[in-house]
Amino acid sequence: MALGHSTSTMTSLYKQAQSAIPATISLPLHWLKSYEDFVTKNANSVTQIESTLRSLTYIIPGRFRESELASESLHTSTLLLSLYHTSLLRRQFPSPLPPSPQTRYITHFTTRSRLYSHSITLLQTVQYTELLCEMFFKRRGGDKARWRLIVMLEIVKAICRTIMFWFTGRRPLVEGMAPERPKLPVAEPEALHMGEESVVDGVLVSDGGQSRVSDERMKEWPMPRTKMTLPVLPTSSGSSITDFLSSRVISPDDIKLPPHLVRKIATFQGQAAEVLYILRPVAYALALQRLQSANGGNKRDWRPWLLGLGMEVAAREFRRKEIGERRPAGGWRGCTGLEKEELKRRKWGLAWWGMRGAFYENVTR
């Protein structure tokens, strides 16, 4: 009898534990769903909180011990959280305004391949966390562990960029690979009824007989038949009217299909230029690591700096020749808006070599 009673007790306890397991597993998912609902319902407030947290990173350094690591941890966490919020808001609030050409181009490929989308996410995550990881590894393992980490991260970023370059049909990489955060919906202004105040045809009338016209009604004019609204033209100066009209002009990039916003690289020189540009950070990091292990890290040695700069200049020269040989429209005038922005960014990127390596130690400093 005692054995049968204990067996039934164990069976009932087992069934209770088995029924409680699904509820325990689903609890984190419930918390995540609640958090996502909070973000979508308070999108503007969440954006302001992110901005406030980023501002704290300028105040924390120097306030207490280990403040640099704490400041960088807060900055990295804020960037990762912002990245998650952006992906969440893009699913919930597709922007009603025409997206930028860059957003159209990136969204076109991210919606067609999970590998491309995961490569962008991994690349951004590495870029956001590399400095924090570098600081941590230097404190725990010294310069040797730090340089191993740097080389590994540069290899991971090069693999992600290679996947993106290949999947887009050998198109040049575009800076800012992730789509931008959509325009957050703004709540319509509601009249607050206090005391004897009321709204009549858009005019707020108070007890004292004073009135003011709603700002929203002053910004647009409703058409009687179609009920559509027309914006009010600016009247301050002629330049403002010109800017107003220019902002409503459709450019060629606005009507192009997303894949046509960046043209394919058809020549061997152009593809070699992009491969050199992708591998340049890896070669520079490997050269610095070798220098560190060979002679204790002589920062005034010019060889790694010349290697990195030479690869970037060679990539730029090959790219310039490829653009000049394009048909039917070659040269700078034949480039799209996204290509021009990327070429300008890479051109200004050459100036950063004045703040790196041996040039900084021997000249700039």
State the chain's maximal CA–CA distance in angstroms: 100
Does position 28 have pLDDT exceeding 80, yes or no?
Answer: no
Residues 271 and 122: their CA atoms lie apart, in Å, by 23
Does position 23 have pLDDT exceeding 60, yes or no?
Answer: no
Q: What is the pLDDT of residues 224-276, one digit of tens each?
A: 887 777 776 666 555 566 766 766 677 788 888 888 899 899 889 899 999 99
Dihedral (Cα; 153, 158, 159, 160), 10-degree rounding: 90
Q: Which residues are bridge partners to 205 per DSSP?
A: 198, 211
Residues 300 and 294: their CA atoms lie apart, in Å, by 14
Q: What is the pLDDT of residues 74-121, one digit of tens each?
A: 889 999 998 888 888 887 776 556 678 888 888 889 888 899 999 999
- Highest mean pLDDT: which of 22-31, 34-43, 209-218, 290-299? 34-43
Residues 167 and 171: their CA atoms lie apart, in Å, by 9
pLDDT level of residue 181 (50, 70, 90 thresholds):
confident
Q: Which residues are bridge partners to 203 per DSSP?
A: 200, 213
User: Closest Cα to residue 128, out of 163, 84, 91?
Assistant: 84
Tokens at residue 97, please?
């305004």
User: What is the percent of the chain with per-residue pLDDT over 70, rounded to a whole number?
Assistant: 71
β-pairing verdict for 211-213 and 203-205? antiparallel
The residue with tokens 């130690």 is 361
Strand order across the 203-205 sheet: 198-200, 203-205, 211-213
Beta-strand runs (E) in the chain: 198-200, 203-205, 211-213, 220-222, 229-231
Residues 110 and 174: their CA atoms lie apart, in Å, by 14
Q: Are 316 and 353 in contact (CB under 8 A)?
A: no
Give the distance from CA 164 to its chain's centroid: 16
DSSP 3-state assignment of 262?
coil
